[in-house]
Chains A and B, each alone.
Chain A
Amino acid sequence: MTEPLIELRDLRKSYGTVLAVGGVNLQVNKGEVVGLIGDNGAGKSTLVKMLAGAITPTSGEILVRGKPVAGWNAAKSRAAGIETVFQDRALAVQQTIARNIFMGREITTFGGLLNLGRQRSEALHLMREIGFTSNAVTPDTVVGQLSGGERQGVAIARAIYYNADLIVLDEPTTALSLTETEKVFSFIRTLRAGGRSILFIGHNIHHVFDIAERFLIMDRGRIALAVTKAQAGSARRLIALMEEVAHSGENTPPVELAARLKGVQ
């Protein structure tokens, strides 16, 4: 039986008269890898930021393990076991890897003094776990010296340190080379093998199809369609589904969409 980890009910976010996210219902189960896809401006990043508590929803409900959480914010999101790797990676590039991993949640001893030794050793352990093999990179390496893939690795390492139940990856392979993308995918496979739930947001449908088991197609601030990997069949068909969703009317119900999609090859 599937155990719901996080559930969003009719979550909305508007900026003045502009509706960025309009009534999203979403559920991620324990150990599940879900792909969230959609065109630019579909509302994916706003949804991710609401899930991370970085922005406050205008209305709606967030349930953690079946229980609604009031006053959702970044601290509550983290307490609920959600770690987010933001699109911009949220890294301070002039700081060391260790300082970035513990940004905002420093390991301290007495009176707020940093336990630098423990931060370094924990960072090194994480770096090994995530697959950093080069001896040239230490926890004291400045993030600005790393490649794009390695920087993403630091952001992912930060997310796994806190034993998160759900890791949200917002376009983790954007602007990366093929080699760097492969490195990031290797990081993600490590997470998946560890039984963590993942919400993977991406533009590259081949990447999303490769990693996720279920797909949510977002369009104009709502989830227009949800399909499993078996239902989608292939990345090509998933792209066709996305196009169909994009060309459908704003209020086309998912059932009708699904019926139309039967004909998509």
Chain B
Amino acid sequence: MNKRTPDGFNANHGLIRRFIQLNRAAIGTFGFFIVMMLLFFCGNPHVFSDWRIYYSVLTVLPVAIFLVVPLVFIVTVGEIDLSFPSVMAFAAWIFALGVQAGYPPAAAILAGVAVGLALGSAIGLIVVYGEFSSLVATLGLGFLIRGAIMIATGGRSIAATGIAKDPTLRLLSSSPGGFPVQMIWAAVFVAVSVILYNRHRFGARVHCVGDNPESARQMGIDPRLVRVGTFVFMGFGAGLAGIFSTIINFTWWPTAGDSYLLPTLAAVFVGGTPTWGGVGTVLGGTIGAAIVSFTQVGIVAAGLDGFYVQFFNGLIIILSLIGHRWNQIRYR
């Protein structure tokens, strides 16, 4: 006969089975990642047994992670955000201006993050309290912010070469012993986000609002506040992504973030967060970001033409969609 532990789990199910039950989508994504890497390895064992290929991806992967993880929250709550690349560029612009003007790095970072938070809050308030479609409203707001940057800067970049010598900023991005230290910051961000998503009141409410906003409202949750909260978090992540991108590249471009839009969206869905809201996975999204990043490098490194990158990106999205469709049941 089945017995349960005092916290309600079936004692016969064991730790491993419990872990699989709770992380089904992330494990599926991880399996997909391993298979993909094995295929790349078979395609070019020489390149894929060399640390440098991993180093080149891990150097920029944190930027994608800072974007993908908050987007998992937004998709789970039943919304979408297409304005984050512009928010990323705006926050990074303020940071780069601060560094260029000679302000202490910590102050420039705080200013960049504050701008990210402020823009995220403004976008959330407009979308949620204006009762607009987040798809259309964030598309418009994204263009608006990008346009403002372009008008103000005349399309000119900022070379923040001082970053390379600044010890504080090197703590955020450098390669002691050949390992990109920014990956540690990204790992901390993921760990905190996993707790926020799975083990915090905010995460629980994000799930409930995304699943059934009317039920959440009847149970005393204000779905609007929760939705705005996810946009604020997205602004925070976009701010960090912009700052790290500038530190890694020593330069701010007014087009910063543009190339992240589609890969970030792809990473969220490849990671196992479905479009319908209520469920998702931060860990899966992180692995999804790694899948998308490694695809771009891996295709070329495996000896294929660069023209194949988009084709394989598409293939991976479709294959993962089929995989998650089989792996996840949609309850309605």
Contacts and interface: CB of A to CB of B under 8 A. Distances in A.
Interface of A: 52, 54, 74-75, 78, 84, 86, 88-95, 98-99, 102-106, 108, 112-114, 116-117, 120-121, 123-124, 135-136, 138-140, 142-145
Interface string B32-44: 0000000000000
Contact of A113 (B22, B200, B217): B200
Contacts of B216: 92, 103-104
Contacts of A93: 211-212, 331-332
21 contacts: A74-B218, A84-B218, A91-B212, A92-B216, A93-B331, A94-B330, A99-B204, A103-B215, A103-B216, A103-B221, A104-B205, A104-B220, A105-B219, A105-B220, A114-B200, A114-B201, A114-B204, A116-B7, A117-B7, A139-B8, A144-B329
B218 A90 contact: yes
Contacts of A124: 4, 6-8
For the complex of A and B, the 6 pairs showing the least CB-CB separation, nearest first, are A144-B331, A104-B219, A92-B211, A139-B8, A120-B8, A90-B215
A62 B201 CA distance: 31
A243 B255 CA distance: 71
B9 interface: yes
Contacts of B219: 90, 103-105
A92 B215 contact: yes
Contacts of A138: 4, 8-10
Contact of A78 (B8, B200, B202, B220): B220
Contacts of A123: 8
Contacts of B329: 144
Contacts of B8: 98, 120-121, 123-124, 138-140
Contact of B9 (A108, A140, A142): A140
Contacts of A84: 218
B218 A114 contact: no
A135 B13 CA distance: 12
Nearest to A94: B278
B214 A90 contact: yes
Contacts of A113: 195, 199-201
B8 to A, nearest CB: 4
Interface of B: 1-2, 4, 6-10, 21-22, 195, 199-202, 204-205, 207-208, 211-212, 214-221, 278-279, 329-332
A139 to B, nearest CB: 4
Nearest to A118: B7
Contacts of B331: 93-94, 142-145
A135 B278 CA distance: 26
Q: Which of A52, A89, A104 has the most CB of B within 10 A?
A: A104
B208 to A, nearest CB: 5
A132 B35 CA distance: 42
Q: Which of B9, B199, B204, B216 has the most CB of A within 10 A?
A: B204
A120 B278 contact: no
Given A138-B8, A139-B8, A86 B211 contact: no
Contact of B208 (A89, A99, A114, A135): A99
Nearest to B211: A92
Nearest to A98: B8
Contacts of B199: 113-114, 116
A75 to B, nearest CB: 6
A93 to B, nearest CB: 4
Contacts of A135: 1-2, 4, 10
Contacts of B215: 86, 88-92, 103
Q: Which of A54, A103, A124 has the most CB of B within 10 A?
A: A103
Given A52-B218, A106-B201, 11 more contacts: A84-B218, A86-B215, A88-B214, A92-B215, A93-B332, A95-B208, A99-B208, A113-B201, A114-B204, A124-B6, A136-B2
A140 B10 CA distance: 10
B132 to A, nearest CB: 24
Contacts of B279: 94
Contact of B207 (A74, A90, A91, A99): A99
B127 to A, nearest CB: 22
A9 B36 CA distance: 68
Given A86-B218, A90-B218, A143-B331, A106 B204 contact: yes
Contacts of A105: 219-220
B211 A120 contact: no
A90 B216 CA distance: 7
A166 B179 CA distance: 62
Nearest to A92: B211
Contacts of A103: 204, 208, 215-216, 219, 221
A95 B200 CA distance: 15
Contacts of B201: 106, 108, 112-114
Q: Which of B207, B215, B331 has the most CB of A within 10 A?
A: B215
Contacts of B208: 92, 95, 99, 103-104
A142 to B, nearest CB: 6
Q: Which of B195, B211, B214, B332 has the most CB of A within 10 A?
A: B211
Nearest to A108: B201
B211 A95 contact: yes
Contacts of A102: 204
Given A92-B278, A94-B279, A114-B199, A120 B212 contact: no
Contacts of B220: 74-75, 78, 104-105
B213 to A, nearest CB: 9
